[in-house]
């Protein structure tokens, strides 16, 4: 196995990581304010669809990206409003939003493009790959970073930014306090509900971002339900990362790697089996890391 092959695998893994990481960060910000958001999947799917639709009608990459993110945010706002302001049950809102977006995108796919199932066209623009001077000439690195888009890099900045916001700024402290004890936040005159709704909206923006990278990143097309459970895998990544943005980067990279290995193994193993790898590995990871955690608790008990 040559180094280029390894670099290619890592390249694919990192590019598969971006959408999962965005969903995971979205899940984290919701958890941090005490809201359980199950609609990540739907928020992501609408972002992916909107990006392709805007892409087709405007021919502008910038507008597609911004539009995808904003429309994801709008769905997030709706979810937040229903769950926080109207106290609607989280699971009900989440599942119905996911199904709603699934149906809506399928219908619009037909209305706007006259196709069912999937839409692909050479006229659709892809996100441009970023060439970093010097690095692009290095042997291993050049393969590793090949075809990375600005959004793949930006994702890490978002994670670090969220970490700084939550744990270093005053607003972050206030945001965290809402999740710890909402009465305390309210008694200090913070708009706790507004904070919660904003957080869910931010999760919508992040998922929208993830959706855009999904439909305009590695491939440029939209397929019905193309998120394929990535919103839920994001929840798992958030769970493993204990809602900490920096740990979430690691957890997401793991799931990205599983995703990538599924497509690489496809050459030797029937695709029906490889495609289930990401889902099986999600379950295994959740089991494994929780056991690790329990061991830790046991050790500290013995000490």
Partner 1 sequence: MIKQYNIKSLAVRFAQIFTQPLIAILIGLTIGAAVILIAGENPLNTYIKMFEGAFFSPFYFMQTLTRAVPVTVCSIAIIMAWRAGYINLGVEGQMITGSFVGTIVSIYSPLPTALTVMIAVACGLAAGALLAVFAAFINDKFNVSIVISTLMMNYVASYITSYFITFPLRDTSNDLAIQTKEIPDVMRLPRLIEGNTLNFGFIITVVLVALFVFINYKSNFGYESKMTGLNPVFAQYGGVKRRKVMYMSMALSGALAATAGMLEVFGVKYRFAEAMFTSTGYAWTGLMSGLISSLHPVGAFVTSVFLSGLQVGGQSVQRTINIPLQVATLIQATITLFVSIRLLAHFRAHRKSKIPKGNIKGKGAGDA
Partner 2 sequence: MKQISKRYPNGVLANDNVNIDLNEGELLAIVGENGAGKSTIMKILYGLEHPTGGEIFIHGKPQVFKNPQSAMKQGIGMVQQNFMLLPPFSIAENVVYGSEPKKMGVFFDRKKAVDEVRQLSGQYGLSIDPTLLIKNCAVGLQQRCEILKVLYQNARIIIFDEPSAVLTPQEVEGLLDTLRQLAGMGKSIILITHKLNEVMAVADRCVIMRGGRHIATLNTGETSIQELSSLMVGRQIVDKEIPKLDKGHCVLKVKNLSLSGPAGQSIVRNCSLNVDSGEIVGIAGVSGNGQTELLHMLVGLLKPDDGEILLNGKEQSGGEVRTIRDAGCAYVPEDRNTMGAALDATLTETLLMAHQYKKELNRHGILNHKSAEESFAALLKEYNVLHSSLKQKSGELSGGNLQKLIVAREISHNAKLLVISEPTRGVDIGAMEFIHNRLIEQRSDGAAILLVSSDLSEILKLSDRIYVMYEGRINGEIMREEANAENVGILMMGGVRHDKAV
* Closer to partner 1 by Cβ: residue 101 or 212: 101
Longest dimension (CA), the chain: 66
* Closer to partner 2 by Cβ: residue 138 or 180: 180
Residue 129 sits at φ, ψ, to 5 deg, of -75, 145
Please list every residue from 150 through 209 that binds partner 2, using CB under 8 A.
168-173, 177, 180-181, 183-184, 186-190
Q: Which does 302 bind (CB under 5 to 8 A by kind): partner 2, partner 1, none?
A: partner 2
Distance separating alpha carbons of residues 33 and 82, to the nearest angstrom: 15
Collapsing DSSP states into helix, strand and coil, what is residue 32?
A: helix
Q: Which does 188 bind (CB under 5 to 8 A by kind): partner 2, partner 1, none?
A: partner 2
* Closer to partner 2 by Cβ: residue 125 or 182: 182
Under a CB-based contact definition with an 8 Å cutoff, are residues 84 and 186 in contact? no
Q: Which does 275 bind (CB under 5 to 8 A by kind): partner 2, partner 1, none?
A: partner 1
Per-residue tokens: 97:
């939003």
* Closer to partner 1 by Cβ: residue 89 or 164: 89
107 is a contact residue toward partner 2 (CB under 8 A):
no
The binding track of 281-300 with respect to partner 2, each residue x by CB under 8 A or -, is ----------------x--x
Under a CB-based contact definition with an 8 Å cutoff, are residues 222 and 49 in contact? yes
Helix (H) or strand (E) holding 130: none
Collapsing DSSP states into helix, strand and coil, what is residue 118?
A: strand
Collapsing DSSP states into helix, strand and coil, what is residue 174?
A: helix
Collapsing DSSP states into helix, strand and coil, what is residue 266?
A: coil
Q: Which does 283 bind (CB under 5 to 8 A by kind): partner 2, partner 1, none?
A: partner 1
Q: Which does 279 bind (CB under 5 to 8 A by kind): partner 1, partner 2, none?
A: partner 1
Which residues would be at the binding site for partner 1 (CB under 8 A)?
31, 36, 38, 82, 86-93, 95-97, 99-100, 102-104, 106-107, 110-111, 116, 228-229, 232-233, 235-236, 239, 270, 272-273, 275-276, 279-280, 282-283, 286-287, 290-291, 294
Helix (H) or strand (E) holding 236: helix 230-240
Under a CB-based contact definition with an 8 Å cutoff, are residues 8 and 221 in contact? no
CA 73 to chain centre: 13
Under a CB-based contact definition with an 8 Å cutoff, are residues 142 and 136 in contact? yes
Rounded least distance, CB 119 to partner 1, Å: 13
302 is a contact residue toward partner 2 (CB under 8 A):
yes
Rounded least distance, CB 182 to partner 1, Å: 11
Of 156, 182, 179, nearest in space to 166 by CA: 179
Residue 169 sits at φ, ψ, to 5 deg, of -100, 165
Rounded least distance, CB 225 to partner 1, Å: 9
Q: Which does 189 bind (CB under 5 to 8 A by kind): partner 1, partner 2, none?
A: partner 2
Q: Which does 180 bind (CB under 5 to 8 A by kind): partner 2, partner 1, none?
A: partner 2
Paired residues of 149 in beta bridges: 129
| Residues found near partner 2 in the complex (CB under 8 A) | 168-173, 177, 180-181, 183-184, 186-190, 297, 300-303
């Amino acid at each position: 196995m040559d180094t280029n092959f390894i670099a290619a695998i890592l390249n694919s893994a990192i590019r598969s990581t971006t959408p999962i990481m965005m969903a995971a960060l979205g899940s984290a910000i919701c958890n941090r304010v005490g809201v359980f958001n199950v609609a990540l999947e739907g928020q992501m799917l609408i972002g992916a669809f909107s990006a392709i639709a805007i892409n087709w009608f405007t021919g502008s990459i910038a507008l597609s990206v911004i539009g995808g993110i904003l429309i994801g945010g709008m769905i997030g706002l709706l979810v937040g409003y229903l769950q926080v302001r109207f106290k609607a049950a989280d699971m009900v809102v989440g599942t119905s939003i996911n199904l709603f977006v699934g149906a809506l995108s399928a219908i619009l796919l037909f209305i706007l493009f006259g196709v069912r199932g999937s839409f692909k066209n050479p006229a659709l623009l892809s996100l441009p790959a970023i060439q970093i001077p010097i690095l692009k000439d290095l042997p291993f690195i050049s393969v590793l970073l090949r075809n990375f888009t600005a959004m793949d890099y930006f994702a890490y900045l978002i994670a670090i930014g969220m970490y700084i916001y939550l744990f270093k700024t005053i607003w972050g402290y206030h945001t965290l306090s809402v999740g710890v004890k909402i009465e305390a936040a309210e008694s200090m005159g913070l708009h706790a509900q507004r904070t919660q709704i904003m957080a869910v909206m931010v999760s919508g923006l992040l998922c929208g971002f993830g959706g855009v990278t999904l439909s305009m990143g590695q491939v440029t097309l939209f397929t019905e339900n193309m998120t394929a459970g990535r919103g839920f895998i994001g929840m798992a990544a958030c769970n493993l990362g204990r809602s900490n943005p920096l740990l979430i980067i690691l957890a997401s990279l793991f799931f990205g790697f599983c995703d990538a290995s599924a497509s690489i193994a496809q050459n030797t193993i029937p695709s029906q089996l490889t495609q289930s790898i990401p889902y099986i590995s999600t379950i295994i990871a959740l089991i494994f890391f929780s056991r690790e955690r329990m061991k830790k608790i046991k050790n500290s008990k013995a000490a």
